[in-house]
Amino acid sequence: MSRPVILEVALNGATPRSVNPHVPRTPAEVTAATLEAIDGGAAIVHHHTDDTMFTETGVHDVAPYVEAWTPVVERHPDALLYPTMAAGARGIAVEDRWAHVEELARRGLGGLTLVDPGSVNVGLTEDGEVPDAAAPGPYQNSYADLAHMFARTAALGASPSISIFEPGFLRTTLAWHRAGRVAPGAIVKLYFGGDLAFGLPPTRTGLDAYLELLEPSGLPWSVAVLGGDVVASGLAAYALERGGHLRVGLEDHAGDRTPSNAELLAEAVALVESVGDHPASLTEARTLLGIGGARTAG
């Protein structure tokens, strides 16, 4: 029987057009790319705005998200969308740097929040280069920050997209899940380092290590390669074999070619269909995650 596979597209991240001319950056471009991704088989879409990732204040404007998402949810009320938050959050109150995430959830937009359950040095590439903005210190999320993000996610009736950059992120998530502190409807995103030198490499052994920890929880999970190609690496095929879901997109992709988000998604769809599975519809994705239908703003 064909299994529904949740496909996510991470539209842009910090990838500039100088690296790939297909990267959507304006709210109107994000809207168009999101609608194209949903039409192409994606059930989850993630994107960044042009607010600085490594910032002294940690504040991100909610307005560009509202502008980009409103036409999407008008056409697809059950679309699953989530934002980013500032990476240079050294000593910044979580209430400030997560405020736009909370406001989007309060308005009933997107259905998902972003929860990063740990701290990590990120930005180093395999050739030893570190961006100036990433050098001063790690991306920080304390246990108190995590408690705030999970509690507010649940209170607002949203569900968490949980980013796993390092094994410790997953152990924290699972400890809190066993304690009943993870908001319902969660999906765990296993991020593997490609050209970005963090976490585990995109290998079968790396995924097996994560799944040894994860599988007793029953939490749904997906894989992505940051600074690489999740399909070309073979990790996507192995993840499907193990019952997982997939994330693609220009935020993550690195390599010699300059594909569009639609092309990367089409490659993932082709892989899913080649093993007899099918891309999950918006309704199927919500059912798989245990998320109810979209709610109105409150």
What pLDDT is attached to residue 298?
46
What pLDDT is attached to residue 294?
74
CB atoms within 10 A of CB 61: 12
- For residue 297, pLDDT beyond 70: no
Average the pLDDT over 137-156 and give the result: 92
Average the pLDDT over 211-218 and give the result: 97
* % of the chain residues with pLDDT over 70: 96
Average the pLDDT over 250-254 and give the result: 97
- Taking only the tens place, the pLDDT of each residue in 106-127 is 999 999 999 999 988 877 677 7
Closest CA to 37 of 76, 91, 84, 88: 76
- Taking only the tens place, the pLDDT of each residue in 23-81 is 999 999 999 999 999 999 999 999 999 998 777 788 999 999 999 999 999 999 999 99
pTM of the model: 0.95
CB atoms within 10 A of CB 243: 12
